[in-house]
Amino acid sequence: MLKTSILALAGLSAAGAATAQGTRACGPRADVLARLEGRFGETRQSVGLAANQSMLEVYASEDTGTWTILMTTPAGVTCLMASGQAWQPWQVAKVPEGDPA
């Protein structure tokens, strides 16, 4: 994808940064976030902790429609896991208290 190419061209998958990550675009967390926020206008939408103590994050932009899933290891290496277009935020409708519906 275009985003993977841009991150790779930015040097985020330079030798050493992607050790044990194969061909994924990886790099220091601050560099990856700066690229997502600066180039794509993406901000963090959600976060979770994986069983291996890595942090999983979803970044997206309602303006551009782009989205990215990142995984950050306890060592601070952040890798792009997936990315795409046509992001739509999920909003759960709240049912008023006492409403039987």
Report the pLDDT value the prediction gives residue 22, as an integer from 0 to 100: 53
Residue 10 burial (CB count, 10 A): 16
Report the pLDDT value the prediction gives residue 30, as an integer from 0 to 100: 94
Q: What is the pTM of this model?
A: 0.69
Q: What is the mean pLDDT of residues 67-96?
A: 91
> Which residue has 């220091």 as its token pair?
28
Report the pLDDT value the prediction gives residue 5, as an integer from 0 to 100: 41
Q: pLDDT band at residue 6, thresholds of 50, 70 and 90?
A: very low
Two tokens at 58? 């979803």
* Segments making up each domain of the chain, as ranges: 2-84
Two tokens at 93? 């409708």
CA 19 to CA 31: how far, in whole Å? Answer: 17
Number of helical H runs and strand E runs in the chain: 2, 5
Q: Using one digit for the tens of pLDDT, what is the confidence trace for 8-21?
A: 434 443 333 333 44
